[in-house]
Amino acid sequence: ESKADGRGKLKVFEPDMLLARQMRNQMVGELKEAIAGSQLVLYYQPIIRLDTREIEGVEALVRWNHPTRGIIMPDEFIPIAEETGMISDLGGWVLRTAVEQLKKWRSDPLTAGHDFSMRINVSAADLQRLEFIEDVREALASAGLDPSLLVLELTESAVIQGNDLDRYTLNSLRRLGVGLEIDDFGTGYSSISYLRQLPVDTVKVDRTLLSALGSDPAQPALLAAVLQLIRACGLAAVWEGIESAEQADYLLSIGCTSGQGYYFSRPLPEPQLTEQLKHYKTWPVS
Ligand code: C2E
Ligand code: MG
Ligand code: MG
Ligand code: MG
């Protein structure tokens, strides 16, 4: 269609936009059912101590097991849940399910030999709700777990662009004793002064920083500098997106002792991770 042909343009675009809106509306309705019903499922990805290969954490990652479409990934529905306010119900379910799962692993004699924390991803919207603090306290209390066994992963933009309420929530959570971590560090508006000010304990470095290792000659030095920066701020570093033995070895050589990625394991459904936990004390790498 030519640009000048305004009428032609309308005819072409209108049905598409209508279709897009219908599909979205349908998805909103279905997501509501999914949260209320039992279509959400948590996958778990281990976080490994790079020197001993022990499991030091497990990150819960939500999937939507759609009745006809199969597994839908979070990038496709978390934004919709956030825009429609369903994220608090979704996040509440994730919180309770993940905490209950950790309790199961810690109380089953076959898996209790492991000592790791549970990491969950928290949406910026959660920090805007005062009830979130109570939700976290309650989930931990009803599972009888020490708060230090839960680490909340927050994206940089959520904490850095945050307002007073966010800061209040973060400080309350910290007083409760849960761990706080900045996720996807290095992708957003990272600022050194924020790293010093925020009430967080750990920083998870985004996998894009690691993916250039091997192609960009400046990258090894850059990774080492990022790690030093995090340490200088008094924080611990976790590296995400480790996909090869070379990457794991390089990180260990510069003193990074924690990481996660496909090289160790993809996120696994609970029964599969439970099997691994039963059979291996340290993570097996092929
Ligand atoms: P994230 O928290 O940064 O999670 C890491 C993502 O990287 C996960 O994608 C994980 O499967 C993937 N990943 C892990 N190791 C590797 C690797 O070695 N290579 C590559 N290429 N990718 C790797 P996933 O599961 O699709 O989740 C995407 C994002 O969705 C998460 O990013 C998080 O921001 C969000 N998300 C997931 N679950 C939840 C949840 O329960 N609540 C909220 N609010 N957000 C969630
Ligand atoms: Mg995360
Ligand atoms: Mg991340
Ligand atoms: Mg991410």
Q: What is the pLDDT of residues 238-286, one digit of tens each?
A: 999 999 999 999 999 999 999 999 999 999 999 999 999 999 989 887 5
Q: What is the pLDDT of residues 167-216, one digit of tens each?
A: 889 999 999 999 999 999 988 766 677 788 888 999 999 999 898 888 88
pLDDT attached to residue 2? 44
pTM: 0.93
Instruction: Indicate if ligand 1 lies below 6 Å from the C-beta of 61.
Output: yes
In 3D, which of 90, 157, 102 has the Cα closest to residue 129?
90
Torsion of CA 195, 242, 78, 61, to 10 degrees: -110
Mean pLDDT check: name the lowest of 46-50, 56-60, 126-130, 239-243.
126-130
In 3D, which of 49, 7, 88, 71 has the Cα closest to residue 256?
49
Q: Which ligand is nearest to the CA of 264?
A: 1
Instruction: Decide if 56 contacts 117 (C-beta within 8 A).
Output: yes
Nearest atom of ligand 1 to the alpha carbon of 263? 18
Residue nearest ligand 1's atom 9 by CA: 61
User: Among 39, 61, 136, which residue has the most ligand 1 atoms within 8 Å of its CB, making it the best to mutate?
Assistant: 61
For the beta carbon of residue 218, count every other beta carbon within 10 angstroms: 9
Residue nearest ligand 1's atom 19 by CA: 241
Instruction: Indicate if ligand 1 lies below 6 Å from the C-beta of 262.
Output: yes
Residue nearest ligand 1's atom 27 by CA: 74
Tell me, what amino acid is at 37?
Answer: G
Q: pLDDT confidence of 7, banded at 50, 70, 90?
A: low
Residue nearest ligand 1's atom 23 by CA: 241
Query: What's the rounded Cα separation, in Å, for the pair 79 and 91?
Result: 13
> In sequence order, what are the beta bridge partners of 71?
65
Query: Mean of the per-residue pLDDT values for the chain?
Result: 90
Nearest atom of ligand 1 to the alpha carbon of 61? 38
Instruction: Decide if 71 contacts 65 (C-beta within 8 A).
Output: yes
Instruction: Indicate if ligand 1 lies below 6 Å from the C-beta of 82.
Output: no
93-110 mean pLDDT: 98
Q: Which ligand is nearest to the CA of 185?
A: 3
Instruction: Decide if 158 contacts 166 (C-beta within 8 A).
Output: yes
> Measured between alpha carbons, how far is residue 270 from residues 71, 87, 92, 212 in Å?
15, 22, 19, 32
